[in-house]
Chain A
Amino acid sequence: MPRRTMIEAIRDAMDVSMGLDERVIVYGEDVGFFGGVFRCTQGLQAKYGKSRCFDAPISEAGIVGSAIGMAAYGLRPCVEVQFADYVYPAYDQIVSEAARLRYRSNGDFTCPIVVRMPTGGGIFGGQTHSQSPEALFTHVSGLKVVVPSNPADAKGLLIAAIEDPDPVIFLEPKRLYNGPFDGHHDRPVTPWSKHELGEVVDGHYTVPLGKAVVRRSGEALTVLAYGTMVYVAEAAVAETGIDAEIIDLRTLLPLDLETIVASVRKTGRCVVVHEATLTSGFGAELAALVQENCFYHLEAPVKRVAGWDTPYPHAQEWDYFPGPARVGRALVETMEGES
């Protein structure tokens, strides 16, 4: 089976979707001729023509707003916002329009769009190339929010997102574009070609939205993670020797509560990890749901490991990023039952 990077897998997903359905249109800043600043759309314009893949003006509201109009017409736009940090000008269009179109028109108009955006830190991206704004979308009724952690999932989830009848926010951890990253920034990076999840099946397949996957089975505690933090959690588990169960959520909204609850009821302990800032982050929702659904099975408080409640700094990258040491400490403390 061919091994691909996450970039290649994402490109392949769009290629497959565009090949199967001429309603699929791909555009965004630098997405056309140049193939995207991360190469995710390389070759698509040459293959499908400028009507199917094209460059857009630097206007996030314009990109998402026009995509909503296209979807109302009957196309299936898969648009790109260059960095998740720059989605805010499009926030009104996403929250007030895309998310509510089906509801407010009673299905008269629908909005099958995908908004792709590179997310996350660990790349010395500073304040505006590192953010993880997923909680700003999981709070919005009518959206679906997806964060893949590997090439195989990225392709299957993106095809599923493009085929989904509702708007999907597709957050791509750019730190994972070329290889898995466990937070050990001082070690050489391994490419996806060395990782089994870099194996990406040719042609069409989907990974269903709303389904989590257990990345590591364990009995001692449950780690809820997504994106880059899945690998950080794996490193922390290896280094602490704690027999943790690691769940890669993959879709944050709608959430696979069943898988989470089954795991925590089994282990009795839960640690939630994400790169995004702590306060009102998605971890708060996860902790609340675990508490609500697993209260009588819990042997320790649910702990959250997250980015600090500060803007994402530059020089202090590794003091900010919740690496394996911080996650490992949380695992140990949760096993000791301390809060």
Chain B
Amino acid sequence: MTEAGKLRFHVPEPEVRPGGTPDFSNVTIPKAGSVARPEIDVDPRTIRDMAFSIIRVLNRNGEAVGPWAGLLTSDELLEGLRHMMTLRAFDARMQMAQRQGKTSFYMQHLGEEAVSCAFRKALAPGDMNFPTYRQAGLLIADDYPMVSMMNQIYSNEADPLKGRQLPVMYSSKEHGFFSISGNLATQYIQAVGWAMASAISNDSRIAAAWIGDGSTAESDFHAALVFASTYKAPVVLNVVNNQWAISTFQGIARGGSGTFAARGLGFGIPSLRVDGNDYLAVHAVAKWAVERARANLGPTLVEYVTYRVGAHSTSDDPSAYRPKAESDAWPLGDPVVRLKNHLIKLGVWSEERHSQAEAEILDTVIAAQKEAEGHGTLHAGGKPSARDMFEGVYAEMPQHLRRQRQQAGV
């Protein structure tokens, strides 16, 4: 065999590692307003190019431009800003609470606040999200009580999940937020099943599936796309591409597909890419996809291009695998800052009011935290009963569990 004839194994690598200079010059960022807005009943075959572009509304000057602009009033945008700021403040406090030993674990949304907060506003009551562990903005933007979230994080006596679940694995049927599982991608196909059930029942509610870039490699992602495509299920298939799956850069999951949105094309699913740090763009694209689903036109795949600014979790140190300043170099900026600048440009907001709002939100979060800590934290104060450990495995407790509960002396 000649040297040239020998096969060589290919393993993708990120452009830069720790110590290097962050470089996103390979990321093509289309101008805000440059991507067309098709009708919702568009023939998917005619918009294949949208899977390779990025829909953006906010330009560098903080102006909302192009065909995807103009859907939200300034009051709605101010509300959106408040949601994102609340999520960020909530994250910061809970991150600190974990460091103080008040809980075992936490996962932040830093840099990704627009995705879940804006998406939530495109849904109607009764719609169901099947989130991952990084979409708490769906709860914040639906005014789920922060103190309940904290009770869950603290696994205290008021924890709605009775201390059974790892922190951040929330569940709220009432708020259209499906129970989070630690097993990645499983909820993606479940969302499709929920949507199929809604169609079978001639309902008008739709489902939203959520997955990260890394988890698209799981086989449940594929199953979900097949089922969604086959049955034209009323579901929005969301892919949050924050560039990183713990230490693994997105190229490891994406391979040669170019974009994650492009994965949808082979299934005949209209697939859009959107600036995930642009609250207006996220909302507009979400609304488009939700309307398609609601009109029985079938599934849409949406890739949110964003960046995971924080560590993967409180158990992670990103400086071991990527440059420290990489998030500063991210070309799509910060979602909170961008919406803030837009609102200032509109004349309905100011730096002063922003600082004031920050302080008010922090007060609200701290008040909720005090209330939650009054119910206990992981290692101190009130906690769920050991009896709760045996409840809820089945609707009715079988004999063998009764015996074990007795043995446990609870």
Contacts and interface: CB of A to CB of B under 8 A. Distances in A.
Contacts of A303: none
B398 A75 contact: no
Interface centre among B173, B197, B219, B226 (most CB of A within 10 A): B197
Nearest to A62: B223
Contacts of A93: 186, 189, 220
B211 to A, nearest CB: 13
B314 interface: no
B183 interface: yes
A254 interface: yes
A141 B393 contact: yes
A66 B192 contact: yes
Contacts of B207: 69
Interface in B99-154: 128, 130
Contacts of A62: 189, 220, 223-224, 226-227
Interface in B375-410: 392-395, 398-400
Contacts of B173: 105, 108-109
Interface residues of B, number: 47
Interface string A120-154: 00000000000000000000011010000000000
B177 to A, nearest CB: 9
A74 interface: yes
A105 B171 contact: yes
A73 interface: yes
B392 A165 contact: no
B230 interface: yes
Given A104-B169, A110-B395, A65 B181 contact: no
B219 A89 contact: yes
A57 B230 contact: yes
A278 interface: no
B293 interface: no
A255 interface: yes
A75 B179 contact: no
A101 B193 contact: no
B393 A142 contact: yes
A257 interface: yes
A57 B197 CA distance: 17
B46 to A, nearest CB: 26
A103 B197 contact: no
Nearest to B384: A106
B398 A59 contact: no
Contacts of B165: 104
Interface stretch (B11-19, B88-96, B156-164, B318-326): B156-164
A96 interface: yes
A272 to B, nearest CB: 18
B178 interface: yes
A103 B227 CA distance: 27
A254 B165 CA distance: 24
Contacts of B198: 73
A142 B393 CA distance: 5
Contacts of A210: 398
A92 interface: yes
Given A57-B230, A101-B179, A103-B164, A69 B172 contact: no
Contact of A104 (B181, B190, B193): B181
A108 B189 contact: no
A102 interface: yes
A275 interface: no
B220 A65 contact: yes
B4 interface: no
Given A69-B195, A104-B164, A142 B394 contact: yes
Given A57-B227, A65-B223, A102-B393, A25 B194 contact: no
Contacts of A339: none
Given A66-B189, A102-B393, A97 B181 contact: yes
B183 A92 contact: yes
A197 interface: no
B190 A65 contact: yes
Interface in B199-241: 199-201, 207, 219-220, 222-224, 226-227, 230
B196 interface: yes
A264 interface: no
Interface centre among A61, A62, A70, A210 (most CB of B within 10 A): A62
Contact of A66 (B161, B169, B196, B392): B196
Nearest to B130: A69
A16 B402 CA distance: 33
A166 interface: yes
A105 B192 contact: no
Contact of B190 (A69, A100, A105): A69
B191 interface: yes
B400 A75 contact: no
A69 B164 contact: no
A68 B179 contact: no
Given A59-B223, A69-B207, A109-B179, A97 B186 contact: yes
Contact of B186 (A51, A65, A254): A65
Contacts of A100: 181
Nearest to B172: A108
A45 to B, nearest CB: 13
Given A65-B186, A97-B183, A105-B179, 19 more contacts: A25-B197, A57-B226, A57-B227, A62-B226, A65-B188, A72-B193, A75-B201, A96-B183, A101-B179, A102-B394, A104-B161, A105-B173, A106-B161, A106-B162, A106-B164, A108-B171, A109-B171, A165-B394, A166-B394
16 contacts: A57-B223, A61-B219, A65-B193, A66-B223, A69-B194, A72-B190, A96-B183, A96-B186, A102-B395, A104-B179, A105-B179, A107-B392, A109-B178, A141-B393, A165-B394, A254-B399
Interface of B: 128, 130, 160-162, 164-165, 169, 171-173, 178-179, 181-183, 186, 188-201, 207, 219-220, 222-224, 226-227, 230, 392-395, 398-400
